[in-house]
Amino acid sequence: MSTEINFDGLIGPSHNYGGLSHGNVASKNNALRISQPKKAALQGLQKMNYLRSLGLEQGVLLPQQRPHLPTLRALGFMGSDREIIEKASNQAPEVLAQCYSASSMWTANACTVSPSADSRDGRVHFTSANLSSMFHRSIEHGNTSALLRSIFSNDAHFVHHDALPAGNHFGDEGAANHNRFATEYDSAGVQLFVFGRYAFRENRHTTAKFPTRQTFEASQAIARLHQLNDDRVVYAQQNPKIVDAGAFHNDVVSVSNLNAFFMHEEAFVDSEALRHELSEKFEGELAFVVVPTEQVSLESAVKSYLFNSQLIKLPNEEGMALILPEESRENSQVYNYLQGLENQSSPIKQVKFVDVRQSMQNGGGPACLRLRVALTQDEVNAVNPRFLLDDALLDTLNVWVSKHYRDEIQPADLSDPSLAEENFAALDELTQIFDLGSFYEFQR
């Protein structure tokens, strides 16, 4: 028996709207609004539990230390923790905001995972994403690597690679630009790496407005590190038009599961050639569900996050279910499309909606919040069980959130050193819940 476990990022106690991501329309539109961290974290937990109630195994990833004092120190802010925050807030509030980013909750960007069936050494490979293209995200990978190493610690089954070299040439955004097709989770699959531009070759297709984040060279490096077979790897370029429309990651315009690929017609530079190559390389039949612009405009796709949904196989049920954000129900174009979809002959048999609005307002839908890890039963047995959600852990986390999280955070609150102290108290208790020892830098 093989399975795919979704690991969702626990939304951290200082969840806020910093307006930090150029090219992410939601982040810009909601910049400096009041955030609701408690509500956000409870929405996240509710989503995890909903997936569990559908019969799926669900994992949890811890938030990062925010504010990230090591970065502030590296940038020359000295003194006690309080002094560092006061100085940063007086001299460079915009830098403090970067170091307070809530972005690690979007674990689809945490790393790229290749299942053991695809790797020459028969192990599951993880490469933390360097997230080089956005400063506030580039400070995540150290913590991400450490956490993944604690959860997947058995090196007979799991291999961890450090993030690719920093800098724009090897900009890597993790699983958000990666899809995998296979008949079963433990059968050899075809991996699709999606990139925005070439770093060292001439680009025939370029964006006019927003930056692309992932390079071809970074994707290639991951395929090499993960020991993938070239015959079962496909590279495809994001359509610059969709990046300019606000789809900064490929998972805003497509999602896959097993042999199904749900995608917007305009997602790629050459969607037809891509479908052809995937069909050639895949042993078996691929089911493409292609949404035409005529039915769902790019603007509606980005606003509703139709494709930033989780496409899942429900245990003991025919076909697949699409877990969408509530915003997809509210967009009439998208909702009409979805109503038709249930009657189409496609693998998608059910659509369900979840409320993750606090995350959506920063550009993160249901799919952004999860990292998929396909595992064999032996590998599941080797996962640190503390990170798998059960009723007891869910109750503990709900109580922990209610105890420590603020109802609201305003942009000015980031200057208050007591917010940092509250965060650290919360994270300290969290490491005890997960028996992680002195995991965070402030504990050491």
Active site residues: 173, 249, 368
Cα–Cα distance, 273 to 124 (Å, whole number): 29
The answer to whether the peptide bond before residue 292 is cis (omega within 30 degrees of 0) is no
Residue 24 in the binding site for ligand SUG (CB under 6 A): yes
Strand order in the sheet with 320-325: 310-313, 320-325, 348-354
Residue 411 in the binding site for ligand SUG (CB under 6 A): no
Site for ligand SUG in 362-391 (CB under 6 A): 362-364, 368
CB of 423 to ligand SUG, least distance (A): 16
Does residue 298 contact residue 244 with C-beta atoms inside 8 Å?
A: no
* Strands 260-264 and 254-257, sheet pairing: antiparallel
Nearby residues of 253 by Cβ (< 8 Å), 6 or more positions away: 238, 242, 247, 263, 264, 266, 267, 301, 307
The one among 19, 67, 115, 171 contacting ligand SUG by CB under 6 A: 19
**Candidate ranges 63-71, 161-169, 358-366, 406-414; the one touching ligand SUG (CB under 6 A):** 358-366
**Candidate ranges 20-28, 42-50, 259-267, 277-285; the one touching ligand SUG (CB under 6 A):** 20-28
Residue 137 in the binding site for ligand SUG (CB under 6 A): yes
Q: How far is CA 51 from CA 44, 54, 138, 311, in A?
A: 11, 5, 30, 11
Nearby residues of 279 by Cβ (< 8 Å), 6 or more positions away: 286
Compare residues 38 and 249 and give the one whose CB is closer to ligand SUG: 249
Compare residues 18 and 67 and give the one whose CB is closer to ligand SUG: 18
Residue 178 in the binding site for ligand SUG (CB under 6 A): no
Compare residues 5 and 414 and give the one whose CB is closer to ligand SUG: 414
Among the listed residues 192, 177, 171, the one whose alpha carbon sits nearest the alpha carbon of residue 247:
177
Give the total of residues touching ligand SUG (CB under 6 A): 24
Q: How far is CA 63 from CA 22, 79, 305, 427, in A?
A: 23, 25, 23, 8
Cα–Cα distance, 14 to 402 (Å, whole number): 13
Compare residues 157 and 264 and give the one whose CB is closer to ligand SUG: 264
Compare residues 69 and 134 and give the one whose CB is closer to ligand SUG: 134
Find the helix or strand (DSSP H, E) in which 60 lies: strand 58-61
The one among 2, 21, 116, 238 contacting ligand SUG by CB under 6 A: 21
Residue with token string 């279910």: 321
- What is the dihedral sign for C-alpha 130, 243, 306, 278? negative
Residue 304 in the binding site for ligand SUG (CB under 6 A): no
Residue 17 in the binding site for ligand SUG (CB under 6 A): yes
Residue with token string 């695809």: 118
Does residue 15 contact residue 404 with C-beta atoms inside 8 Å?
A: no
Residue 101 in the binding site for ligand SUG (CB under 6 A): yes
Provide the angle, in degrees to the nearest 10, between the axes of the packed helices 37-53 and 391-404: 170
Residue 106 in the binding site for ligand SUG (CB under 6 A): yes
Residue 8 in the binding site for ligand SUG (CB under 6 A): no
CB of 91 to ligand SUG, least distance (A): 20
Compare residues 186 and 251 and give the one whose CB is closer to ligand SUG: 251
Residue 212 in the binding site for ligand SUG (CB under 6 A): no
- Quick note: the x/- pattern for ligand SUG over 225-254, rule CB under 6 A, is -----------------------xx-xx--
Site for ligand SUG in 115-134 (CB under 6 A): 134
Find the helix or strand (DSSP H, E) in which 328 lies: helix 326-330
CB of 214 to ligand SUG, least distance (A): 11
Phi, then psi, of 326 in degrees rounded to 5? -50, -30
- Quick note: the x/- pattern for ligand SUG over 26-65, rule CB under 6 A, is -x--------------------------------------
Compare residues 105 and 348 and give the one whose CB is closer to ligand SUG: 105
**Candidate ranges 105-113, 253-261, 290-298, 424-432; the one touching ligand SUG (CB under 6 A):** 105-113
Cα–Cα distance, 212 to 197 (Å, whole number): 7
Binding site for ligand SUG (CB under 6 A): 17-21, 24, 27, 101-103, 106, 108-109, 134, 137, 176, 248-249, 251-252, 362-364, 368
